């Protein structure tokens, strides 16, 4: 049975003992309701790999409308751009990504499913009977491991993934995790990517917090998180269908952009069914897809300029909101490197030789002034003569 997704999400668990199990209400085409399977973030030791979902979302998701994909994809669909996914891996057997995934270092197997889910948000192509569509459905995916097979990330794996992606020509590098450690190596990796003209996009907050990382009274840790906090990295936070983050979501650290990231529906590591998940990592995936749209449409822009374009065209909010259509349609003026891009003013060009035009305008202006002077004299002179050129009121006193 297939189900029509309606986007009504329940609060996700943010304390992560083994797996994160957010749930979602979906409405069946037939009477009755069911739950769309939740996307795990990590797997406990001995837990089986994430399997195929038996449920398919046949309707468009709320995030597709929020991002204006129907308009943006008339301009660009990301063709010719490679987006690296540094995460749990990306399955090469997913129909909506078929033929567009290159996996290195064993990343073609995704036991957890998070990397495949994110890749679907970035680049899933439309399929018959499915409403799921990636932001850049013609982009290619380069899969690199950033975690172990249980989904636990490490700074060393993520840094190596970023560097390898840059060496392999990825123009956008998506990192699926926010790490509290690894400042030195992840900052160096981000700088390496920038030198290779690759834009790194990363979550400004974790999707969930393991119990062992909670403080006293279950207090959630605060950032900075890496690589999002590194210079040049586009740091992204999530919001949901109601425009806000989920209750008790881990606090974000100085995000640059916000994007849909709650109640997101995408592909699983096997089959054509769908899962649901929430978190800043999923918002970062959509942003990476938007960066691919811009890089495909305007290949002359550098990675830093693409970042500026996304920021300058974002919808104004406490944290500016990603707007892919505006990023593609707003032309920014050239500016200083540290200054944000601004919408260009419309300028009408002067004729090639403006000398004759300026002389003609001067002659016309002088003629108009002379005509006005003659008209004024024609009205004043008869009145002056009638008063014998005396000031008004004097003629009666002196007669």
Establish if 337 belongs to a structural domain: no
Looking at residues 68-76, what average pLDDT do you find? 97
Statement to judge: residues 377 and 261 lie in one domain: no
Establish if 290 belongs to a structural domain: yes
Q: What is the DSSP string of 91-142?
A: -TT-GGGTT-EEE-TTTT--SS-HHHHHHHHHHPPP-TT-----SSTT-EEE
The conformation of residue 32, written as its DSSP 8-state character, comes to S
Statement to judge: residues 362 and 282 lie in one domain: no
The string of pLDDT tens digits covering residues 270-279 is 998 999 999 9
Establish if 377 belongs to a structural domain: yes
The string of pLDDT tens digits covering residues 122-135 is 999 998 888 899 99
Statement to judge: residues 368 and 241 lie in one domain: no
Reply yes or no on whether the pLDDT at 7 is more than 70. Answer: no
Whether 306 contacts 224, CB under 8 Å:
no
Torsion of CA 171, 303, 164, 153, to 10 degrees: -100
Q: Which residue has the higher pLDDT, 160 or 363?
A: 160
Domains contained in the chain, number: 2
Statement to judge: residues 275 and 392 lie in one domain: no
Statement to judge: residues 59 and 23 lie in one domain: yes
Establish if 369 belongs to a structural domain: yes
User: Which of 248, 241, 286 is CA-nearest to residue 262?
Assistant: 241
pTM, 2 dp: 0.77
Torsion of CA 179, 138, 60, 309, to 10 degrees: 60
Identify the pLDDT of residue 365: 55
Report angle CA 262, 140, 233 to the nearest 5 degrees: 55
Establish if 350 belongs to a structural domain: no
Q: Which residue has the higher pLDDT, 147 or 25?
A: 147
List residues bridging with 175 in a β-sheet.
Answer: 86
Cα 177 off chain centre by: 17
Domain ends where: 312, 329, 346? Answer: 329
Statement to judge: residues 278 and 377 lie in one domain: no
Identify the pLDDT of residue 208: 86
CA pair distance 105, 83, nearest whole angstrom: 16
Do the strands 101-103 and 140-145 form a parallel or antiparallel pair, or are they unpaired? parallel
- Mean of pLDDT over the chain: 81
Q: Which residue has the higher pLDDT, 308 or 332?
A: 308
Statement to judge: residues 58 and 164 lie in one domain: yes
The string of pLDDT tens digits covering residues 84-96 is 999 999 999 999 9
Establish if 10 belongs to a structural domain: yes
Statement to judge: residues 317 and 369 lie in one domain: no
Mind spelling out the 3-state secondary structure of 237-268? EEECCCCCCCCCCCCCCCCCEEEECCCEEEEC
Statement to judge: residues 117 and 255 lie in one domain: yes
Range among 25-34, 187-196, 362-371 with highest mean pLDDT value: 187-196
Statement to judge: residues 94 and 14 lie in one domain: yes
Statement to judge: residues 233 and 363 lie in one domain: no
Report angle CA 145, 151, 152 to the nearest 5 degrees: 95
Whether 238 contacts 245, CB under 8 Å:
yes
Q: What is the CATH number of the domain that holds 167?
A: 3.40.50.200
Establish if 280 belongs to a structural domain: yes
Containing structural domain, residue 264: 3-329
Q: Is 80 exposed, middle or buried (0-12, 13-18, 19+ CB in 10 A)?
A: middle
Establish if 201 belongs to a structural domain: yes
Identify the pLDDT of residue 216: 75
Statement to judge: residues 272 and 372 lie in one domain: no
């Amino acid at each position: 049975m297939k189900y029509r997704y309606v986007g009504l999400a329940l609060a996700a668990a943010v304390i992560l003992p083994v797996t994160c199990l957010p749930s979602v209400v979906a409405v069946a085409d037939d009477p009755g309701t069911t739950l769309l399977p939740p996307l795990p973030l990590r797997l406990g030791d001995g837990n089986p790999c994430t399997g195929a979902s038996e449920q398919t979302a046949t309707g468009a998701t709320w995030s597709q409308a929020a991002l204006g994909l129907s308009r943006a994809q008339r301009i660009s669909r990301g063709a010719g751009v490679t987006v690296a996914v540094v995460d749990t891996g990306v399955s090469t057997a997913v129909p909506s990504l078929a033929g567009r995934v290159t996996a290195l270092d064993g990343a073609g197997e995704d036991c957890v499913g998070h990397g495949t889910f994110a890749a679907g948000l970035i680049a899933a192509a439309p399929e018959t009977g499915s409403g799921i569509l990636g932001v850049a459905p013609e982009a290619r995916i380069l899969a690199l491991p950033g975690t172990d097979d249980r989904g636990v990330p490490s700074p060393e794996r993520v840094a190596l993934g970023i560097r390898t992606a840059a060496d392999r020509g990825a123009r956008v590098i998506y990192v699926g995790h926010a790490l509290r450690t690894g400042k030195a190596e992840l900052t160096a990796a981000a700088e390496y990517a920038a030198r290779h003209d690759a834009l790194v996009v990363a979550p400004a907050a974790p999707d969930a917090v393991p119990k062992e990382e909670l403080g006293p009274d279950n207090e959630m840790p605060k950032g900075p998180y890496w690589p999002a906090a590194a210079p040049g990295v586009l740091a992204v936070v999530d919001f949901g269908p109601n425009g806000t983050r989920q209750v008790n979501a881990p606090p974000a650290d100085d995000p640059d952009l916000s994007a849909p990231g709650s109640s997101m529906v995408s592909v699983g590591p096997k089959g054509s069914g769908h899962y649901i998940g929430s978190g800043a990592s999923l918002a970062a995936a959509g942003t990476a897809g938007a960066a691919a749209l811009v890089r495909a449409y305007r290949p002359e822009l550098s990675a830093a300029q693409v970042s500026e374009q996304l920021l300058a065209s974002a919808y104004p909010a406490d944290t500016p909101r990603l707007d892919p259509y505006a990023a593609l349609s707003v032309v920014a003026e050239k500016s200083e490197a540290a200054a944000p891009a601004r919408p260009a003013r419309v300028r009408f060009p002067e004729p090639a030789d403006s000398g004759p035009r300026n002389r003609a305008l001067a002659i016309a202006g002088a003629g108009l002034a002379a005509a006005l002077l003659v008209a004024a004299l024609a009205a004043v002179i008869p009145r002056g003569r009638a008063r014998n050129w005396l000031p008004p009121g004097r003629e009666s006193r002196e007669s």
